[in-house]
Structure 1
Amino acid sequence: MTIAPELQFCLLTEPLIRYRRASDGKTVCANLPELFVALAADEVRDYPALRPHQRHPWHAFLVQLAAIALHKAKRTAAFETTQEWRDVLLALTPDDPDGAAWCLVSPPNRPALLQAAVVGESVSDWKSESFAADEIDMLVTSKNHDLKGSRARRSQPEDWLFALLSLQTQEGFLGAGNYGISRMNGGFASKPGVGVAAAGFPGGRWMRDIAALLKRRDQTVKEHDLQGDDGLALVWLAPWDGLDSLLFSKLDPFYIEICRRIRLRCVDGEIMSVGAGSKAARIAAKKLNGLTGDAWTPIDVEGGKALTITANGFTYKLVSELMFSGKYQAPAAQHFDHSTNGDSLVFVTQGVTRGKGETKGYHERRVPVSPKVQGLLKKNQKADLELIAGQRITAISEMRGLLRYALVVLFESGDVKDRRQANKVHEAKVSKFSAPFEEAEDARFFSDLYEEIEAADPSAQRLGWFLGLVERAEAILKMAFDAGPRNGIQKYRAQSAALSRFHGGLRSDKFRIPDLVNYYRQQTAKHQEETSDHA
């Protein structure tokens, strides 16, 4: 394969991607076929230049690309040699046998990697210029909300690759002419990455997700009315004048999309970019609400729309719903039927929260899956898991509510005439103590949950957790004493009233943790009986 001089930075032949080798930690520079061979051998530890918010786009790109190539080759097993991968990838671009579509820089009238060919105009007229890779990245970096932009002034080709991929496969709407991707629920939504990974290095997850995509390919075509073998898989291969949208029904189920008109150029040996707006989104999919068959996007069944990540990120409540409830339809990468007994698995959630002209953080959570839970999920037996998790979520909510009330009593010096008004007055102080309580429970939620599921006596384990919840909430309340009244009898009255409110609430008929209510009533009855016998 000979690369013409006007074609630069070809991923099929040039070692542009750095990874750290799993066996010895040594940094290796590889081209894309070499990287695929290393992933298949599980020899990739990580990518030094990859930023956290770029992790899922990069993983998804590598999985989709390999799945497209393997399907075209009519096989499911990964190729063993670099040459085999190079040949099958090049075969995906028959109109560009010289590799132009795999180069970061090619003539504007031809496709380049993740860049559509320009139709009937000169890119020299495009006014949006960037000289640092992170300037073209999605909003999280380009507008300085979460990371400072324009830091990568000495950007390497791989920096441009990762930034370009981030922009083209997870960006949303950003004003007129700047449309977002099809694989999310609206222009101000977010693209989640939810799946199951074998504990260890990226290669295991890569192989697992490829198998998941290939297994469900026909089902995805049927459910989403996509094209079969003749669908457009690499969207950047279609020329784009910025005026028209591609029909969703003409796409391959594994399609890798682009959403912006952008071209990379090489000036004096350095890469820079130019961009222009468009009159329409690249893919006509607005009415789909993100229901595109994406392998990592859960679907809100009742709402009929793709999951959108809020500013709260992947809380224990949301992750519980994603793992155990029927509220969300699990994407292909989340299914457990690609696992064998004994596998050490991790539930992975990733994504950037977007809004109107802003981002609200990158969120990532990895939750180990215990052996018994794995077995139940593999058999799709979620009912018991949903029930147990739901009981604990309710318990945490109830305990936080009781803690908040006790804190209000404390800050009101033990005298609360109007609870609602008192809540408003002391909201900031109350939240200062009650929020960390829930955050701590969030952090330990799944490890505690698995102890009950795996226990020989689940009831005893559950009661022990309830009692621990009480202890941790009471400890927070006592920590708040220093922030309450400090003078004489007022101090002791406030603290005593707060503790009384807290312990009284645990025994109330209105308290929605019946196991605790019954336990404390039994303890009270037992104490009264012992006192009576002693008398």
Structure 2
Amino acid sequence: MTLDLLQEPLIQTDTAWHSLPGLLAAMARGDVQGFPALRPHQRPAWHMFLVQLSVMALEASGRNDLPQEEDSWRAALRALTPDYPEDEPWHLVGADRSRPAFLQPADPGGLKWSAVATPDALDMLITSRNHDLKREIARKAAPQDWIFALVSLQTMEGFGGAGNYGVARMNGGSSSRVMLALAPARPGGAQIDPSAWWARDVATLLAFRRGQGATGKTLIWTEPWPEGGMLDLTTLDPLFIEVCRRIRLVQQGDRISAERSTSKAARIAGKEAKGNTGDPWAPLHLTEGKTLTLGERDWTHELLIDLLFSDKPEWAVPPLALRQADEATGPMLLVAEAIGRGNSKTDGFKSRIVPVPIAMVRVMFGTRLKAVAPEVLADIAAADIALRNGLALVSAGGDREKVAKSHYARSQPAREALRRQADTLFFPELWRRTDATNDGQMNALRIAFLEDLSRRTRNEFMRALPAIPCAALMRPRAETRGRQALERGLHAALRKLRDQEGPHVAT
């Protein structure tokens, strides 16, 4: 059995099983709303793979529409592999190891191979301590589990030790391939519509590339990979689908397993590019020309503002995170996803999805939104400083002259708890203020937000007090002065706001 993705229904959706071209036809019809077997960390890789593949296939076949017939997509995919009349690059299990199979480069011979029992053992290492996602448990895996694992590994993995190189679409082997995008929401506005998202990205990229004459190698697994051989980035299509590891699937009876080997060099010579490969989902630093490294950070509101809505931008917004001309009639979702990765470790799958109301879709990246964001950030910062100063003063026994760095450090757990709450409040507040129609409405919204934030700050102060060390003799004075410092900080922001006159935001 070859398990031909062009012919066999190997991929399960929420409504049916499909071949790869059948899946693309179903998505073009809007029939797909989910992939039951797709693991959460595999979603960005799977979406990007389908979009890249679809765009290049349609261009190779001379089409710029989204056909709704399976045969049309089958012909388009075959246009990417004209040198393989037997469709070997689309076989999940290759009968001839000297020929490529799906996301599996041909075996050049002379390599040492090691066995991989399950697709989850082949997939990316999500956490170095095996906490987020247990490995090697998929003993009764279906072919689609291997498909998803291959896509995840070959297009998203980082450096994994000697002979195990990562993808070119990241700023170094300890970085991440990041997805930052806008996606259409299902009715109700809280969940992604995968068919509409795919169609939107494919149509956007087809229009973006029209007339540019994009050329180059497309499916990297179809290219010979001699030991030490590296591909030059300049020879690749900007949407190339890469493979970073030597993998071959094998079948014994009705069970599939895998073999892996190492390589003497990375598949693509892209180190100097720092991840700048034309990936339409990747934020690009404006001066350093590098893609974003998420590292141990999460997708906080501060990071997303820096990437998308800063009034002094350092990052270019990815093309597929920009609002398109016809996207003002329905709610959207801001999707930010990546594997947190550091030096010889991973920090788990980081995902954040922010609902964007219709009114905000219309003003995305406008000057008004970028003017409001710093005010919301300043309000949160004022509450954070008030909490820090109050708890630090308690830790110092109420002696204002003795407050030191070590006392401020005692406030960190409470500040982090408050920051998590503020993080959930930030974007709804940003949307409300941006939608305000006059100064009076803006003033009322800001006061209500500060009062809510002050209440939450006081709660965190009280929760933290018992854990703040202080001499028993000094504790009454320390807690009294700490509360006074807290209230001074909280009231200062409100008092300043109530005394303000004139416009708050430049329209």
TM-score (norm 2): 0.91
1:506 CA displacement: 4.4
Distance 1:521 1:11, change over 3 A: closer
Residue 442 of structure 1 corresponds to which residue in structure 2? 423
Query: What does 1:96-135 align with in structure 2 at a 5 Å threshold?
Result: 96-106=84-94, 107-119=96-108, 121=109, 126-135=112-121
Tell me if structure 2 keeps the 8 A contact 1:145–1:359.
no
Structure 2 CA distance, aligned partners of 1:420 and 1:280?
51
Residue 147 of structure 2 corresponds to which residue in structure 1? 161
Structure 1 CA distance, aligned partners of 2:472 and 2:346?
48
Equivalent position amino acid for 1:408 in 2? A
1:139 maps to 2:125: yes
Query: What does 1:6-45 align with in structure 2 at a 5 Å threshold?
Result: 8-21=2-15, 28-45=16-33
The counterpart of 2:195, out of the listed 203, 210, 217, is 203
Equivalent position amino acid for 1:159 in 2? D
Distance 1:87 1:491, change over 3 A: same
Tell me if structure 2 keeps the 8 A contact 1:506–1:520.
no
Q: CA RMSD in A?
A: 2.3
The counterpart of 2:457, out of the listed 445, 468, 473, is 473
Query: What does 1:129-528 align with in structure 2 at a 5 Å threshold?
Result: 129-140=115-126, 144=130, 146-200=132-186, 201-217=193-209, 228=213, 230-325=215-310, 326-377=313-364, 380-381=365-366, 383-423=367-407, 427=409, 429-456=410-437, 457-483=441-467, 490-506=474-490, 513=493, 516-517=495-496, 519=498
Structure 2 CA distance, aligned partners of 1:248 and 1:90?
24
Per-residue Cα deviation, 1:498-535 (whole angstroms, up to 9, x for no partner): 11112233466xxxx5x64353899xxxxxxxxxxxxx
Residue 529 of structure 1 corresponds to which residue in structure 2? none
Tell me if structure 2 keeps the 8 A contact 1:242–1:277.
no
Equivalent position amino acid for 1:358 in 2? K
Structure 1 CA distance, aligned partners of 2:233 and 2:76?
25
Structure 2 CA distance, aligned partners of 1:488 and 1:257?
64
Tell me if structure 2 keeps the 8 A contact 1:9–1:105.
yes
Per-residue Cα deviation, 1:262-305 (whole angstroms, up to 9, x for no partner): 11111233111112211111111110111111011011213321
Partner secondary structure for residue 274 of structure 1 = strand
1:59 CA displacement: 0.4
Distance 1:482 1:95, change over 3 A: same
Residue 190 of structure 2 corresponds to which residue in structure 1? none
Per-residue Cα deviation, 1:347-399 (whole angstroms, up to 9, x for no partner): 1111101112210111111111123322122xx52x33222112222332232
Give the gaps of 5 or more residues in structure 1: 22-27, 222-227, 523-535
Tell me if structure 2 keeps the 8 A contact 1:298–1:329.
yes
Structure 2 CA distance, aligned partners of 1:142 and 1:149?
11
Partner secondary structure for residue 305 of structure 1 = coil
Task: Give the ranges of 4+ consecutive aligned residues of structure 1 lying more than 6 Å apart after TM superposition.
Answer: 485-489
Structure 1 CA distance, aligned partners of 2:426 and 2:382?
15
Structure 2 CA distance, aligned partners of 1:373 and 1:303?
31
Partner secondary structure for residue 3 of structure 2 = strand
Structure 2 CA distance, aligned partners of 1:487 and 1:176?
54
Distance 1:185 1:464, change over 3 A: same
Which moves more between the two structures, 136-145 or 404-413? 136-145
Structure 1 CA distance, aligned partners of 2:470 and 2:131?
41
Equivalent position amino acid for 1:144 in 2? N
Per-residue Cα deviation, 1:210-229 (whole angstroms, up to 9, x for no partner): 0121122268x6xxxxxx45
Tell me if structure 1 keeps the 8 A contact 2:336–2:353.
yes
Partner secondary structure for residue 262 of structure 1 = strand
Per-residue Cα deviation, 1:176-197 (whole angstroms, up to 9, x for no partner): 2111111111111001111101
TM-score (norm 1): 0.86
Structure 2 CA distance, aligned partners of 1:160 and 1:35?
17
Tell me if structure 2 keeps the 8 A contact 1:467–1:516.
no
Equivalent position amino acid for 1:238 in 2? E
Tell me if structure 1 keeps the 8 A contact 2:28–2:195.
yes
Residue 531 of structure 1 corresponds to which residue in structure 2? none
Structure 1 CA distance, aligned partners of 2:480 and 2:128?
53
Q: How many residues align?
A: 489
Question: Could you say which structure has the larger radius of gyration?
Answer: 1
* Same amino acid, percent of matched pairs: 35
1:100 CA displacement: 0.8
